[in-house]
């Protein structure tokens, strides 16, 4: 950077910690470097000295001294496959951010990125969260998971205490998670409960869940609820789904079990030689964690809604579905 620069805080950066603001705009600047610049007064906010945990507000001016790192303009818009591979961790997480407070982050996880590491996984949310380690050395913690190909609401605890309370809320089922899905065909019952036993089995294509018998070794009880929001003729339906239990692939297996697999599901959508994938729609999993209602660690309830990913927006447009049709339940 050639000289001193003054940058204004954007409207959508309200309440962001100053160290995170720098991580977004100057990902190459280390935390130690930033602390030195703050202690020496070279970085200032509205002309005054500042600390790393200061919360910036729209319209404030940040004084940027000459630094040996390049500014990085924060991208906006949908997160694509190239972003998932190449964008810096802090920048990518910032683009996913739906909600932030002292105890909790809520992300809109894109489809295609794993939440945790595993065989063949090169990048995952849990590892990326190291970029948001606090000045006290505390890394944000996962408290639940989403499948790699499922998009939507993902709750992250910022502290150990918050993680304990949020984990307890999931364990005690004091949460309401709402998913949107597009399925093949239209269920005969407009709303129903699906109750089965599920067991994990290994296949050449990786782990897969299957319907099990009651009492079968390793089987877990799984309960889901669904309702039909809209339909496209008799060919497709938009389902609002709620998992009462939290088993692996639960909603995907239950949709297939009732004879209406989720569109684009690579594991549970069985090919039919008499069926052709519809034109104008991407062959990707159409399952999105739309909304969560969960007790906040500090009291009260936290309610967050995640916008649909681009491939599902495209499908809604093709079928002429109106997202407002389900708004009354969020």
Residues noted as catalytic: 147
Per-residue CA distances from 134 to 17, 19, 307, 322 (Å)? 10, 9, 28, 41
Token representation of residue 275: 């069926």
Q: Which helix (H) or strand (E) holds 170?
A: helix 160-171
Q: Are 43 and 34 in contact (CB under 8 A)?
A: yes
Report helix angle 18-25 to 31-39, nearest 10.
120
Q: What angle do CA 222, 223, 228 make, to 5 degrees?
A: 135
What's the count of helices (H) and strands (E) in the chain, helices before strands?
8, 14
Q: First and final CA of the chain: distance in angstroms?
A: 46
Q: Between β-strands 176-184 and 206-212, what pairing exists: parallel, antiparallel or unpaired?
A: unpaired
Q: Are 127 and 64 in contact (CB under 8 A)?
A: no
* Total Cβ atoms within 10 A of residue 159: 17
Measured CA to CA, the distance from residue 69 to residue 37 in angstroms comes to 13
| Of the candidates 100, 76, 1, the residue with the CA atom closest to the CA atom of residue 43 | 1
Q: Are 155 and 294 in contact (CB under 8 A)?
A: yes
Query: Which residues, other chains included, contact 64 with Cβ-Cβ below 8 Å and sequence gap of 6+?
Result: 1, 4, 5, 6, 7, 43, 71
* Total Cβ atoms within 10 A of residue 224: 23
């Amino acid at each position: 950077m050639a000289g001193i620069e003054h940058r204004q805080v954007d409207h959508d950066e309200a309440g962001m910690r100053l160290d995170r603001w720098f991580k977004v705009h100057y990902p190459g600047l280390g935390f130690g470097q930033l602390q030195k610049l703050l202690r020496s007064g070279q970085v200032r906010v509205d002309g005054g000295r500042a600390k790393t945990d200061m919360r910036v507000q729209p319209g404030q001016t940040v004084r940027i001294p000459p630094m040996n790192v390049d500014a990085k303009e924060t991208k906006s818009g949908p997160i694509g496959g190239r972003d998932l591979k190449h964008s810096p961790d802090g920048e990518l997480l910032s683009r996913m951010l739906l909600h932030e407070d002292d105890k909790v982050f809520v992300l809109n996880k894109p489809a295609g990125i794993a939440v945790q590491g595993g065989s063949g996984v090169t990048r995952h949310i849990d590892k990326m969260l190291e970029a948001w380690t606090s000045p006290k050395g505390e890394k944000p913690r996962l408290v639940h998971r989403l499948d790699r190909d499922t998009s939507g609401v993902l709750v992250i605890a910022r502290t150990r205490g918050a993680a304990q309370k949020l984990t307890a809320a999931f364990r005690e089922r004091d949460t309401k998670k709402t998913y949107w899905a597009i399925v093949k065909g239209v269920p005969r019952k407009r709303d129903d409960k699906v109750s089965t036993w599920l067991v994990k089995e290994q296949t050449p294509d990786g782990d897969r869940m299957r319907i099990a018998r009651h009492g079968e070794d390793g089987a877990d009880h799984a309960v889901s609820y669904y309702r039909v929001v809209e339909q496209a003729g008799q060919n497709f339906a938009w389902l609002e789904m709620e998992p009462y239990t939290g088993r692996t692939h639960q909603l995907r297996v239950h949709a297939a079990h009732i004879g209406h697999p989720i569109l684009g599901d690579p594991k549970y959508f069985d090919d039919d030689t008499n069926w052709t994938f519809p034109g104008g729609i991407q062959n990707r999993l159409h399952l999105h964690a739309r909304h969560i209602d969960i007790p906040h660690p500090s009291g009260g309830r936290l309610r967050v809604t995640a916008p649909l990913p681009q491939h599902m927006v495209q499908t809604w447009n093709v079928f002429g579905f109106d997202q407002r049709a389900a708004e009354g339940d969020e």
